[in-house]
Amino acid sequence: MKTKLTVTNRSEWPSPAIKVLAEWIVKEAGIAWDYSILVRSCRSQTWGGRGGRRSQRIWFDRRYRADWPLHHKDHRFGWSHVQEYRTRMEVLVMLIAHEAYHATGGHPERFKSGDRINRASMEYRCNKFADETIVKLRVEWPALRCRIYKAMRLDRQKQATVRQRKADARGPERKLQLAQQNLTKWESKAKRVQTALRKYRRKVKYYEGRMAAKS
């Protein structure tokens, strides 16, 4: 059964780029079932995400301001190591990868002991996968960049086609075509009306004659 990845982009990041990166990350994470990703912007200088077995949502502003490379430490855990991100895209990839791993190797069920979940170990594994994904991103970026550029070209062509169709629908050629279609339709109706008028005129004349003869 073929799996389906649904990407909903409500941010200023280009959708084709997010789709290519998301497909690559989901495959790296080992997700082999239907999965959905929601990407949103946020107004504050922060980022975050939530991930589960079948979906994730992240928020990150494309215009996030920082001194690059950015050195970041997971503030939730004192033992957390320092992570380095060279670009905003690397932060975006980190977020998607971290939440995607919660669906596989970083799922809470894997870290459950009795009624408790070892969240520190779980988040450590997700951070580790995100770090490994960033390393692979830097190695595979030339190929990924080509895929992103191709996807963006196709998206521009699609949008141009949609705009042209809308323009054609508003242009004189399309309006002439619609007018001709309406004219043909109403001429056909007019013929039926004229036929009906002749029929009922004959009937009216006939019955008027009968009434006159009777009187």
Higher pLDDT, 172 or 17: 17
Which H helix or E strand runs over 48?
strand 47-51
Please give the radius of gyration of the chain, using alpha carbons only, rounded to the nearest integer.
Answer: 32
Whats the size of the chain, residue-wise? 215
Which H helix or E strand runs over 130?
helix 119-170
- What's the half-sphere exposure (Cβ side, CA atoms, 13 Å) at 147? 14
Query: How far apart, in whole angstroms, are the C-alpha atoms of residue 119 and residue 125?
Result: 10
Beta carbons of 58 and 22 less than 8 angstroms apart: no
Higher pLDDT, 188 or 35: 35
**pLDDT tens digit sequence for 49-74:** 999 999 999 999 998 999 999 999 88
Tell me the average pLDDT of the chain: 91
> 135-142 long-range CB contacts below 8 Å, 24 or more apart?
136/28, 137/90, 137/93, 138/86, 140/24
Name the residue among 104, 93, 20 with its Cα closest to residue 54. 104
pLDDT of residue 132: 97
Q: What percent of the chain has pLDDT over 90?
A: 60
Residue 2 is given by DSSP the state: -
Query: How far apart, in whole angstroms, are the C-alpha atoms of residue 209 and residue 182?
Result: 40
**Exposed, middle or buried, 5 (CB in 10 Å: 0-12/13-18/19+)?**
middle
Which H helix or E strand runs over 72?
strand 70-73
Q: What percent of the chain has pLDDT over 70?
A: 100
**pLDDT tens digit sequence for 82-94:** 899 999 999 999 9
Name the residue among 74, 75, 121, 120 with its Cα closest to residue 94. 74
Tokens 């079948």 sit on residue: 54
Averaged pLDDT for residues 98-124: 94
Higher pLDDT, 150 or 160: 150
Averaged pLDDT for residues 179-199: 87
**pLDDT tens digit sequence for 4-14:** 999 999 999 99
Averaged pLDDT for residues 179-196: 87
> Within a 10 A sphere around the Cβ of 89, how many other Cβ atoms?
17
User: Is the peptide bond between 108 and the residue preceding it cis, with omega within 30 degrees of 0?
Assistant: no
Beta carbons of 10 and 41 less than 8 angstroms apart: yes
Q: Which band of pLDDT confidence, cut at 50, 70 and 90, is reported for residue 183?
A: confident
Q: Where are the beta strands (DSSP E) in 86-199?
A: 112-113, 116-117
pLDDT of residue 36: 98
